[in-house]
Amino acid sequence: MNVELLKYHVLRCPKCGQIKASTARSKTRCVSCMHGWQIHSKGSTWGVLASFYTPAQASQFVQNYKAKLAMEKEQTNEIRTAFSLLGLDENCSREQFVQEYRKRAFTYHPDLNKDNPVAKEQFKDVTHAAQQIRSAMGWN
């Protein structure tokens, strides 16, 4: 893509990751961390996520991109919570996962804890966490 022909760019600071729309041609400065960098130098493009002809297209891209990043961050936090709920490290093996899940599921199973209503909720939480980990790791 020839960046020089398009007027509006969506930029991401290589230092802090801040996203902004700009009309910059060759150099820019991040408003968040004040890091300055060359956008286009010797045929390479740095920090340009996308380029557009109108500012409306650029701002729409920024909104969509930020929403996508927020969703990915939320999913990552949910998976980390799932691992911590099962008492596992994110780099655990499938065997470790299965062993820990079975241990906790057996501990909180409603049939074994008929007089404990909290155990039923804990069992649901453990099962939901296991489903999240399975889908994230591709262990279906």
Encoded amino acid at 96, one letter: Q
User: pLDDT 10s per residue in the chain (140 long)?
Assistant: 454 456 787 888 878 888 888 776 667 788 788 887 777 655 556 777 777 888 888 888 888 888 988 888 888 888 888 998 899 988 889 999 999 999 999 999 999 988 888 999 999 999 999 998 998 888 87
DSSP symbols for 54-100 = SHHHHHHHHHHHHHHHHHHHHHHHHHHHHHHHTT--TT--HHHHHHH
Quick one: pLDDT at residue 102? 94
Give the single-character DSSP code of 122: H
pTM of the shown model: 0.56
Q: Are 5 and 42 in contact (CB under 8 A)?
A: no
Q: Return the domain boundaries, the chain.
A: 3-70, 86-137
The secondary structure of residue 10, as a DSSP letter, is E
Homologous superfamily assigned to 86-137: DnaJ domain (1.10.287.110)
